[in-house]
Amino acid sequence: MDYRTWEAGAIKIEVDYDACNGNGTCVEVCPAEVYVLQYDKTVPVNIEECIECCACVENCPQQAIRHSSC
Ligand code: SF4
Ligand code: SF4
């Protein structure tokens, strides 16, 4: 595992870069456009827009995302 961490306010998102395969599901399902793909890995660049719906965590086929609210 290779967890990278991003935080904004009370929200922390961690992504396991060993597990992330860059398929873009989190980018597609996030209603707040929090994620973008960079070099085939997801990056939560807009955490401040997160509405804590947990769709990213629930839909990642690699179970690569940890979210402090989910
Ligand atoms: S859904 Fe999971 S595997 Fe796919 S890009 Fe997002 S974090 Fe990576
Ligand atoms: S919890 Fe919902 S709004 Fe927040 S990053 Fe995940 S999918 Fe996007």
**Would you identify the CATH topology of the domain 3-67?**
Alpha-Beta Plaits (3.30.70)
From first CA to last CA, the distance across the chain in angstroms is 20
Question: Where are the chain's structural domains?
Answer: 3-67
Q: Pick the atom of ligand 1 nearest to 15's CA.
A: 7
C-alpha span between 59 and 37 (Å, rounded): 16
pLDDT at 40: 97
Instruction: Check pocket membership of 25 for ligand 1, CB cut-off 6 A.
Output: yes
What is the CB-side half-sphere exposure of residue 18 using CA atoms within 13 A? 3
**Confidence label for 64 from pLDDT (cuts 50, 70 and 90):** very high
How far, in Å, from the CA of 8 to the mean position of ligand 2?
A: 13
For tokens 């595992």, what's the residue? 1
38 Cα to the center of ligand 2, angstroms: 18
Which segments of 1-70 does DSSP mark as H helices, in order? 25-29, 55-59
pLDDT in tens, 12-51: 999 999 999 999 999 999 999 999 999 999 999 999 999 9
Whether the Cβ atoms of residue 18 and residue 44 lie closer than 8 Å to each other: no
